[in-house]
Amino acid sequence: MELSSLGTIADVRAALRNGAGAVDVCAEFLDRIAARDGAIRAFTHLAADRALERAAALDGRGPDAPALPLLGVPVAIKDNICTRGLPTTASSRILAGYVPPYDATVIERLTAAGAVVIGKTNCDEFAMGSTTEHSVRGPSRNPWNPACVPGGSSGGSAAAVAARLAPAALGSDTGGSIRQPAAFCGIVGMKPTYGRVSRYGLLAFASSLDQIGPFGLTVADAAALLQAIAGPDPRDATSAGAAVPAFEEAAAEPARNPTIGVPWSILENGVDAGVGAVFTAAVETLRGLGATIVDVPLPHAEYAVPTYYIVAPAEASSNLARYDGVRYAYRAPLDERDATLDRMYDRTRRHGFGDEVKRRIMLGTYALSAGYYDAYYLKAQQVRTLIRDDYDAAFRRVDAVAMPTTPTTAFRIGERSDDPLQLYMGDVFTAGANLTGLPAISLPCGRDGAGLPVGLQLIGPAFGEETLIRVGAAYEEQAPWWREAPPAAGARGPE
């Protein structure tokens, strides 16, 4: 196999079996990044020397060394996941220069599986956004059309995989931040069940919603990465003790005759015509492979976005209070004449946080304030329970629920910058899985009239990743949209 044709984890494994070394594979992807990332801006930090050293160490293992499932696979890491010795800033000025002294659990597990961390990827600041425009580094760009956003907040990771700059990547998903950019960039992205993957080492946004998950070109790639990072962790009190199934085996055993629920009533308004047509065709493809399609009511789904935008900002308000200019990270300079503690707090946060982060902190602080807690935060938690009850009822009838990942395809950079409410409504189909803690996967299922990718989202019961992987693999067999590379997969950036 020519290294220039490498795309998937399966391709990397085949190349290594056929005599290529991990250094050869790593160098190939580093060359691509050097040639193409100027146009995409997926990476915030490239760990070239370190990655090559790691690959050389893997090549130097003796013949009796144990097999490693991700041997020599380069993986890109979202910039809010702590990686020892590499900058981890959540794309925020307030964490400029921060280099963690430890690895997140997912990084330890990737390393144990033989993966090579190739660099850190751009994201919306503290994972707050859906376009990657809210980054101190500036926006990443969509490999299908560089004038468009790649989605967010994990837009850099999604763009890197879509542009073939890395065969796999990690992101985090708080309200859709893996699935939405996966849909916009035409790749596979999965949010696992809350607790399936340790959050130790993830810079917190909203602790009851955040979850780390994989990106890949194929369902099998996502399954391989999830296999490596999943499992209990004593350092994360929210980590679940559930055993980790054989996700890679599930990807090799596509589901036959699943029952798929579609909440048609919530798709009647607000979905672009192009997205609706592609989604309907995807449902017919599922039907054609033997799936039974049934209508399922989700009567409280319309409240997912307002509920999410109370719960998530409230938790962010609490979590981001630690960035005070005292213990670490950025501290605003003060004139000696007015160097009071309150002024230092004020200036540090005013200059260290971007506008979107400050907007959400203020929303959350208001929702938690005396006199408003019961009216907003407590009520949102009650509605959250109703949304979960709707899904529990649906899963008594179906194996998975299908809907579009997003109501639109990618839009132009800057097009919605002045309308945060319109941006927030882009989470209408994704936020529910975070509020309920359920697993969900986005698969490429076609393109709209402008040639931009559309995502098919499948949501499963708690700890039902195996089912999603099997159904996703069955769909992918019939509709392998991942094989079509975007223009940026061959584009060169500025010299």
Q: Where are the domains of the chain?
A: 3-254+472-490
Residue 313, token pair as written in the block: 């900002």
Residue 388, token pair as written in the block: 């979960």
pLDDT, one tens digit per residue, over 432-452 is 999 999 999 999 999 999 999
For residue 365, pLDDT beyond 50? yes
Distance from C-alpha of 450 to C-alpha of 183, rounded to nearest angstrom: 15
Q: Which residues contact 336 (CB under 8 A, 6 or more apart)?
A: none
Please state the rounded mean pLDDT for residues 6-13: 97
**Closest to 470 (Cα-Cα) out of 247, 263, 194, 259:** 247
Residue-level pLDDT at 63: 84
User: What is the strand order of the sheet 74-78 is part of?
Assistant: 43-46, 116-121, 74-78, 168-173, 211-216, 188-191, 440-447, 453-459, 400-404, 259-262, 292-295
Do 205 and 312 form a contact (C-beta atoms < 8 A)? yes
Q: What's the pTM value of the predicted model, to 2 decimals?
A: 0.96
For residue 1, pLDDT beyond 80? no
| CA distances to 149, 158, 159, 289, 380 from 182, in Å | 12, 6, 8, 24, 28
Please state the rounded mean pLDDT for residues 401-424: 93
Secondary structure letter of residue 243 according to DSSP: P
For residue 495, pLDDT beyond 50? no
User: For residue 198, is the peptide bond before it cis, meaning its omega torsion is within 30 degrees of 0?
Assistant: no
Please state the rounded mean pLDDT for residues 443-469: 98
Residue-level pLDDT at 493: 42
List the single range of 38-42, 457-461, 490-494 with lowest mean pLDDT.
490-494
- Which residues have a catalytic role annotated? 78, 153, 177
Q: Which fold has domain 3-254+472-490?
A: Amidase signature (AS) enzymes (3.90.1300)
- Percentage of the chain with pLDDT > 70? 99
List the single range of 137-151, 281-295, 363-377 with lowest mean pLDDT.
363-377
Do 124 and 356 form a contact (C-beta atoms < 8 A)? yes
Backbone angles phi, psi at 259, to 5 degrees: -105, 120
Q: How many CB atoms lie within 10 A of CB 387?
A: 24
Distance from C-alpha of 424 to C-alpha of 251, rounded to nearest angstrom: 33
Residue-level pLDDT at 494: 38
For residue 181, pLDDT beyond 90? yes
pLDDT range class, residue 342, cuts 50, 70, 90: confident
pLDDT, one tens digit per residue, over 212-254 is 999 999 999 999 999 999 999 999 999 999 999 999 999 999 9
Distance from C-alpha of 461 to C-alpha of 391, rounded to nearest angstrom: 8
Do 433 and 440 form a contact (C-beta atoms < 8 A)? yes
Cα three-residue angle 471-448-492, rounded to 5 degrees? 95
Helical (H) or strand (E) element with 280: helix 273-288
pLDDT range class, residue 420, cuts 50, 70, 90: confident
State how far Cα 341 lies from the chain centre: 37
For residue 328, pLDDT beyond 80? no
The single residue listed with the structure tokens 């376009």 is 131
List the single range of 72-76, 93-97, 155-159, 417-421 with lowest mean pLDDT.
417-421
Mean pLDDT estimate for the chain: 95
- Percentage of the chain with pLDDT > 90? 89
Exposure of 304 in the CB half-sphere (CA atoms within 13 A): 29
Distance from C-alpha of 114 to C-alpha of 111, rounded to nearest angstrom: 5
pLDDT, one tens digit per residue, over 124-149 is 999 999 999 999 999 999 999 999 99
The single residue listed with the structure tokens 């990332």 is 37
Residue 134, token pair as written in the block: 């809210």
Distance from C-alpha of 280 to C-alpha of 287, rounded to nearest angstrom: 11
Distance from C-alpha of 386 to C-alpha of 391, rounded to nearest angstrom: 9
Dihedral sign for Cα atoms in the order 260, 265, 266, 267: positive
- Look at 338 and 150; give whichever has higher pLDDT: 150
Q: Which residues contact 198 (CB under 8 A, 6 or more apart)?
A: 104, 105, 106, 212, 229, 231, 232, 233, 235, 236, 239
Residue-level pLDDT at 385: 98
Residue-level pLDDT at 2: 86
For residue 382, pLDDT beyond 80? yes
pLDDT range class, residue 475, cuts 50, 70, 90: very high
Distance from C-alpha of 192 to C-alpha of 465, rounded to nearest angstrom: 7
- Interaxial angle between packed helices 9-17 and 219-229, expressed in degrees from 0 to 180 and rounded to the nearest 10: 80
**Closest to 187 (Cα-Cα) out of 485, 465, 478:** 485
Distance from C-alpha of 80 to C-alpha of 449, rounded to nearest angstrom: 34
